[in-house]
């Protein structure tokens, strides 16, 4: 795969070469990562995305956290807080949380499946390159791992006041964060773009 | 064509912002709306109006930062008494109750990171506008870090979301979100957009211009 690429951070041109196992290509001028060696990129991402979708469903539809103060019990799912914020008139905040923790991760998972399955089975569905571009531009707005830290802080804050019982959705959520991180690490967008280019 | 640095711009090429395909630049670039043949994104040699856009967003974020810190982000109603908390009073509460690590997490994510990000972006903008040649590699690294840490400022917004969901037991104990949360969410979103709209290639373009100028003299 000998071709010329430009560093996306300083525009310097480089000759791209194939890397050894675990290798990283960096820009000689600014030090930005140009590309990495990622074996079986597409298959790995496909497997992780499928696992991610299952975890996403569990994380959204099962009890997330339960708050118990003496006899009073308040059971919540992932979306409860968003609805509550919306009811209090905080629709901007509710919208931001909904986008970053539910909608963007869901679109990313479904979108990756839509792009990768046809590549795997050599089919030709509708608007693949545009969709892949959209997914790539959404990606920075998925912030589930930050939400996890938020859970930790809220847990510490409330733990003196009442009992907090973690639900099955919380464990699915934690697993989902690792799956998403692993899939982001395994994805080599250059390979996807090259494949998409060859087919058109 | 005898340039010191073989960049895409000098070679009349444009690297697509979205899929990084190298495309031939059509001249004049303003007149024709060029589109990447591979992914369909619009092609620009540099991010359009990068400096003006980033300045506008940075100034907006500075302005929003004030109400975000002055106004309460949560209101706790417990046994009929209401108590409002700002971001800083939340940090102080954790320090007083002995949860040092949590206090540090909130302080870094909600106070330190947004301010640092705005200061770094301001510095990068000024340094690019003054055509500074000082340590470009370190400035590029500074930008990379700024872009990566911004998302972690959202922690406080998520804490409010979870607290609001869990604690709603009527007069016994209820937590409501305060107006500060709106401004704080805006600060985080605006600073993320500001970091996105800044083009790190501008740091390097100055190096080339200075080099060319010295060569001519």
Give tens-digit pLDDT for B159-178.
999 999 888 877 778 888 99
Q: Do A11 and B9 touch (CB under 8 A)?
A: yes
Q: Do A150 and B161 touch (CB under 8 A)?
A: yes
CA A142 to chain centre: 6
Interface test with B, best of A150, A152, A194, A200 (most B CBs within 10 A): A150
Residue of B11, B156, B165 lying closest to A84 (CB–CB): B165
Average pLDDT, chain A: 87
User: A104-121 and A128-138 helices cross at what angle (nearest 10)?
Assistant: 150
**Confidence category of residue A1, pLDDT binned at 50, 70, 90:** very low
Question: Quick one: what percent of chain B has pLDDT higher than 70?
Answer: 93
- Region of residue B25 (phi > 0: left; psi between -120 and 50: alpha; otherwise: beta): beta
Residue of B22, B99, B200 lying closest to A6 (CB–CB): B22
Find out whether the peptide bond into B28 is cis, omega within 30 degrees of 0: yes
Does the pLDDT value for residue A38 go beyond 70? yes
Interface test with A, best of B128, B161, B201 (most A CBs within 10 A): B161
The partner residues of A72 in beta bridges, in order of sequence, read: A69
Does the pLDDT value for residue B29 go beyond 60? no
Q: How far apart are the first and last CA of chain B?
A: 18
Instruction: Spell out which residues of chain A touch residue B99, defining contact as CB-CB under 8 Å.
Output: 156
Pairing of strands B74-78, B81-85: antiparallel
In chain A, what are the helix, strand and coil shares in percent, each to the nearest 5? 60, 15, 25
Q: Do B201 and A11 touch (CB under 8 A)?
A: yes
Does the pLDDT value for residue B59 go beyond 90? yes
State the average pLDDT over residues B143-151. Answer: 90
Q: In angstroms, rounded to a whole number, what is the distance separating the alpha carbons of residues B46 and B14? A: 9
Q: In angstroms, rounded to a whole number, what is the distance separating the alpha carbons of residues B147 and A139? A: 14
For position B197, what pLDDT does the model report? 92
Does the pLDDT value for residue A47 go beyond 60? yes
For position A150, what pLDDT does the model report? 92
Q: Do B18 and A72 touch (CB under 8 A)?
A: no
Interface test with B, best of A82, A129, A147, A154 (most B CBs within 10 A): A154
Q: Do A13 and B17 touch (CB under 8 A)?
A: no
pLDDT tens column, B60-87: 999 999 999 999 999 888 877 888 889 9
Q: Do B8 and A13 touch (CB under 8 A)?
A: yes
Residue of B109, B161, B200 lying closest to A9 (CB–CB): B200
For position B23, what pLDDT does the model report? 80
For position A175, what pLDDT does the model report? 95
Structure-block tokens of residue A25: 């290509």
Helices and strands of chain B, counted as H and E runs: 8, 5
Q: Do A154 and B159 touch (CB under 8 A)?
A: yes
**Interior CA angle at A94 toward A91 and A95, to 5°?**
85
pTM of this prediction? 0.87
pLDDT tens column, A59-81: 999 989 888 887 788 888 889 88
Which residues, in sequence order, are CB contacts of A103 under 8 Å at separation 6+?
none
Higher pLDDT, B143 or A39: B143
Q: How far apart are the first and last CA of chain A?
A: 19
Higher pLDDT, B132 or B186: B186
Which of A12-16, A59-63, A121-125, B133-137 comes out lowest in average pLDDT? A121-125
Domains along chain B with CATH numbers = 1-45 (no CATH), 48-216 (1.20.140)
Residue of A146, A153, A160 lying closest to B102 (CB–CB): A153
Does the pLDDT value for residue B30 go beyond 60? no
- Whether residue B115 contacts residue B58, with contact meaning beta carbons closer than 8 Å, is answered with no
For position A75, what pLDDT does the model report? 87
Which residues, in sequence order, are CB contacts of A157 under 8 Å at separation 6+?
B94, B102, B159, B163
């Amino acid at each position: 795969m000998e071709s010329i690429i430009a560093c996306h951070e300083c525009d310097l041109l480089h000759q791209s070469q194939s890397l050894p196992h675990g290798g990283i290509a960096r820009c000689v001028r600014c030090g930005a990562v140009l590309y990495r060696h990622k074996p079986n990129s597409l298959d790995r991402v496909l497997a992780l995305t499928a696992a991610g979708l299952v975890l996403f469903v569990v994380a959204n539809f099962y009890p997330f956290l339960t708050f118990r103060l003496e006899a009073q019990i308040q059971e919540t799912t992932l979306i409860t807080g968003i609805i509550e914020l919306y009811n209090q008139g905080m629709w901007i905040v509710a919208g931001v949380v909904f986008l970053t923790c539910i909608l963007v991760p869901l679109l990313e998972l479904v979108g990756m499946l839509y792009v990768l399955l046809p590549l795997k089975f050599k089919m030709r569905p509708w608007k693949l390159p545009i969709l892949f571009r959209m997914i790539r531009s959404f990606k920075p707005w998925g912030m589930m791992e930050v939400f996890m830290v938020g859970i930790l802080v809220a847990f510490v804050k409330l733990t003196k006041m009442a009992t907090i019982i973690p639900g099955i959705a919380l464990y699915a959520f934690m697993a989902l964060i690792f799956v998403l991180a692993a899939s982001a690490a395994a994805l080599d967008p250059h390979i996807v773009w090259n494949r998409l280019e060859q087919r058109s | 064509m005898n340039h010191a640095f073989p960049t895409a711009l000098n070679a009349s090429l444009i690297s697509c912002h979205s899929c990084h395909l190298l495309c031939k630049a059509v001249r004049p670039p303003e007149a024709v709306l060029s589109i990447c043949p591979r992914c369909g994104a619009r092609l620009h040699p540099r991010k359009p109006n990068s400096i003006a856009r980033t300045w506008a967003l940075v100034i907006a974020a500075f302005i929003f930062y004030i109400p975000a810190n002055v106004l309460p982000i949560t209101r706790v109603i417990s046994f009929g008494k209401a108590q409002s908390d700002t971001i800083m009073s939340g940090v102080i509460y954790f320090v007083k109750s002995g949860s040092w690590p949590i206090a540090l997490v909130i302080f870094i994510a909600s106070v330190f990171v947004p301010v640092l990000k705005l200061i770094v972006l301001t510095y990068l903008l000024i340094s690019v506008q003054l055509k500074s040649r000082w340590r470009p590699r370190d400035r590029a690294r500074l930008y990379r870090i700024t872009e990566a840490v911004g998302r972690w400022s959202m922690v406080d917004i998520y804490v409010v979301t979870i607290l609001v969901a869990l604690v709603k037991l009527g007069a016994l104990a209820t937590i409501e979100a305060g107006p500060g949360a709106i401004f704080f969410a805006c600060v985080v979103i605006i600073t993320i957009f500001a970091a996105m709209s800044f083009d790190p290639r501008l740091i390097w373009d100055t190096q080339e211009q200075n080099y060319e100028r010295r060569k001519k003299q």
